[in-house]
Amino acid sequence: MTATTPNRAHYALKVSATSSHAQLLGLLPASGHGQRILDVGAGTGEFAVMLAERGFAVTALERYPLVPEFEGKLEFHQVDLDAGLPALRGAYDWVLCADVLEHLRDPAALLGQLHALLTPGGRLVASLPNSGHWYFRLHVLAGSFPQHDKGLFDSTHLHFYMWDGWLGLFERAGFSLKLVSLTTPPLELKFPRSAHALWLRAANAVSAALAKCWMRLFAYQFIVEARPERRLP
């Protein structure tokens, strides 16, 4: 995704029905009918290919080379997003930012560039981590700031926003931000042997209920839709 991302396999497609990828997919039309979509920070490219198979005209941006098996299925640009967007032709009906903005040195600058690329009525959809989650707060309160391969303490995260921070970032870039849904911690990854256990399903249900009641403390990620609200200077 960016120059600091060590391994794009960490950002593979999330297959859970409640994952951020599944929820973002649900925000997009079931049939693309040639609508143009820009996948910013495409990771392994699986999500982009799914969109191409839905009928979208997909342009994917990623620091790493495209997986050979995906060549010819979409337009691809190998790029360091911290250096800005490459030269792109035309405007886009959709922009997808899945788990990427927190990895950038200057996400506001990139959002400003994306603002200019959207068609009238175009939308940006994104998944954004919540650094106000109780797990994150508890570690900081205890004087701990771990470095993990993924998750809220992903070692490649450069920004740690709570909801109000994300809201302000998008507003400064000329977008109105709408919260669409929330994700909760992927307990099935922490406890893979219990993936179908009753206790894990119950824990996920409780976690989802708490996130809906108090998103700032219990939401793991925010799934959002952003629309250009004003023209940038």
Residues of the chain under the 70 pLDDT cut: 1-15, 230-233
CATH of the domain at 166: 3.40.50.150
| Three-state DSSP state, 159 | coil
**Using CA atoms, how far apart are residues 187 and 184, in angstroms rounded to an integer?**
8
Task: Please count the helices (runs of H) and the strands (runs of E) in the chain.
Answer: 8, 7
The C-alpha angle with vertex 32 and arms to 57 and 70, in degrees rounded to 5, equals 45
**Using CA atoms, how far apart are residues 58 and 61, in angstroms rounded to an integer?**
10
On whether residue 17 sits in a domain, the answer given is yes
Start-to-end CA distance of the chain, whole Å, equals: 28
Provide the domain limits for residue 82.
8-228
Whole-prediction pTM:
0.89
* pLDDT per residue as tens digits for the range 101-147: 999 999 999 999 999 999 999 999 999 999 999 999 999 999 999 99
On whether residue 2 sits in a domain, the answer given is no
**Given this model, what pLDDT does residue 12 score?**
60
**Given this model, what pLDDT does residue 204 score?**
86
On whether residue 233 sits in a domain, the answer given is no
On whether residue 121 sits in a domain, the answer given is yes
Q: Rg of the Cα trace of the chain?
A: 17
On whether residue 3 sits in a domain, the answer given is no
On whether residue 113 sits in a domain, the answer given is yes
On whether residue 175 sits in a domain, the answer given is yes
**Using CA atoms, how far apart are residues 191 and 103, in angstroms rounded to an integer?**
27
| Both structure tokens of 188 | 């099935």
Domain count of the fold of the chain: 1
**Given this model, what pLDDT does residue 196 score?**
79
**Using CA atoms, how far apart are residues 20 and 8, in angstroms rounded to an integer?**
17
On whether residue 58 sits in a domain, the answer given is yes
Per residue, the 3-state secondary structure of 40-89, as one string, reads ECCCCCHHHHHHHHCCCEEEEEECCCCCHHHCCCCEEEECCHHHCCCCCC
